[in-house]
Amino acid sequence: MAIVHIINNEVSRAFVADGVLAYGGSPMMSENHMEFDAIHKHTGAMLINLGMVNPQKENVIIKACQSASKYGIPIGLDPVGIHISPWRLKVFEKIMSTFEIAYVKGNQDEVYCGVFGPYDGQNKSLEAVQRFELEQFSSRLLASKTVWLITGEQDYVVGRGRCEIVSGGTPDLRKISGAGCLLSALVAVNISKGMCVLNAAVKASCDLKKASEGFAQGGVGTLKVNIIDRLGQAGESSV
């Protein structure tokens, strides 16, 4: 199995772990800094999720990134809520400026804030985020060594001179707490299986969208269960 180290938020931890296992990964969710070096000797990728972060967890995250960097482990970052919390944005900026981050997965507001900084509700840039005019992001993101997976009705995977657009899925994904967290983790699984970062992000996005299709009549609970089932099939096709 592809071992991935995930520091997740408490709300979606179980769902993410189940999805990673179904997808062919093996999640290590330790937040004990005394284990990090041992874990990273066997890990193919690491994901940091900023949901429910606090000062104590920030210290844990920094130590995890230091260890992953020492062992050359690709680091993914899910900047949950940085467009809402100025303190959380500072944590994000500290991580981005201190470590080499392989990929960032966020919604349109989170990515815009992460790239261009905070904005207020009266700023015209907020309207651009809501409309998601990709050209406002393109020059900076395309040149970035970090791959940016930007989620929405369509997902955009941008960075390292490439831009891929992934369509499909169901709007009901937004009703599942932790769906975005799971997507971030699926990228890490694909990297751990040997895929390049951008292809790993594209495949993860495609697989999650496909896994969510066709269950609208059964409700959100049915959708959540079937996503896990279908990810098992999708993971078998990963390189």
Q: pLDDT tens digit string along 91-142? A: 999 999 999 999 999 998 899 889 888 765 554 444 554 455 556 666 788 8
Of 132, 61, 134, 145, nearest to 104 (Cα)?
Answer: 145
Give pLDDT, residue 139. Answer: 77
Give pLDDT, residue 115. Answer: 87
DSSP H/E element including 118: none
Average pLDDT of the chain is: 89
C-alpha span between 23 and 189 (Å, rounded): 8
Of 169, 159, 170, nearest to 201 (Cα)?
Answer: 159
**Is the backbone of residue 167 left (phi > 0), alpha (psi -120 to 50) or beta?**
beta
Contact 27, 21 (CB under 8 A): yes
Give pLDDT, residue 116. Answer: 80
- What percent of the chain is modeled with pLDDT above 70? 88
**pLDDT surpassing 90 at residue 82:** yes
Q: What is the DSSP letter of 153?
A: S
Structural domain boundaries, residue 210: 2-235
Amino acid at 233: Q
Number of folded domains that form the chain? 1
Contact 46, 72 (CB under 8 A): no
The separation between CA 77 and the C-alpha centre of its own chain, rounded to angstroms, equals 6
DSSP H/E element including 163: strand 162-166
- CATH number, domain of 84, equals 3.40.1190.20
